[in-house]
Amino acid sequence: MRVLGVDPGLTRCGLGVVEGVPGRVSLVDVGVVRTPATDELGPRLVALEVAVDAWLDRLAPDAVAVERVFSQANVRTVMGTAQAGAVAITCAARRGLPVVLHTPSEVKAAVTGSGRADKDQVATMVARLLRLPGPPRPADAADALALAICHLWRAPAQARLAAAVAAVPGAGARR
C-alpha cells in the first residue's frame, strides 16, 4: 500500500509518501509546499491544490492521511490549517481516493509508542523506521511521513473493524 501523508499548513504544508505493509515501510518521497504569508488566501490555496494534485498524479497513492485539526489558542492558525487540509481532502476525493484524518496523538502513538511524544521524538522515529541518515527537515516533512506511516500501519485493522461492524445486522443503526 502507498500512502500520502499531509501535514496541512498555509505557510508550510508537509507532504510525504511511504509504501509497505504494517511493520515494514519505505520512503517514496517527501517535501514541503511553501506559500508566502504575504500573498492573498485564494492564490495560496490554489498553489497548494496544484502541488497536491501534482503529487497525487506523480506518486499515485492508494490512500491519503491528513492531520485532523485540533483546537489551538490561535484561531488564525487553526483556520489556515483547516483550509489547507480541506484542499488536500478535495484533491484526493476528486480522484476517488480514501482519505483518513488522524489526530496528532494518534500519529505520535503509532510512530513512537507514546501519544505524548514531542516533535523531535517523532522525527527521530520516522528517520529510524525509514532508515534515513537523519530526521527529515523541516518538521512539517517529518510530520507528513509520520501521518503516512500511521495510516499504513492502522489501515488494515481499521478496515477489518469496519467490515465486522458492517456485518452485524443493525450495528450502524441509531436507537
How far, in Å, CA of 41 to CA of 108, rounded? 30
**How does strand 12-21 pair with strand 24-34?**
antiparallel
Structural contact between residues 16 and 144, judged by C-beta atoms closer than 8 angstroms:
yes
Structural contact between residues 7 and 67, judged by C-beta atoms closer than 8 angstroms:
yes
Q: Which residue blocks in the chain are alpha helix, DSSP H?
A: 41-59, 75-94, 104-112, 119-129, 139-167
Provide the residue type at 153 as one letter: W
Beta bridge partners of 19: 2, 26
Q: Widest CA span of the chain, in angstroms?
A: 54
Q: Which one of 49, 62, 118, 140 is the catalytic residue? A: 140
Residue 106 bears catalytic tag: no
Q: Which one of 29, 53, 62, 67 is the catalytic residue? A: 67
In eight-state DSSP terms, residue 80 is H
Residue 140 bears catalytic tag: yes
Q: Which one of 7, 19, 49, 57 is the catalytic residue? A: 7
Residue 7 bears catalytic tag: yes
Residues marked active site are found at: 7, 67, 140
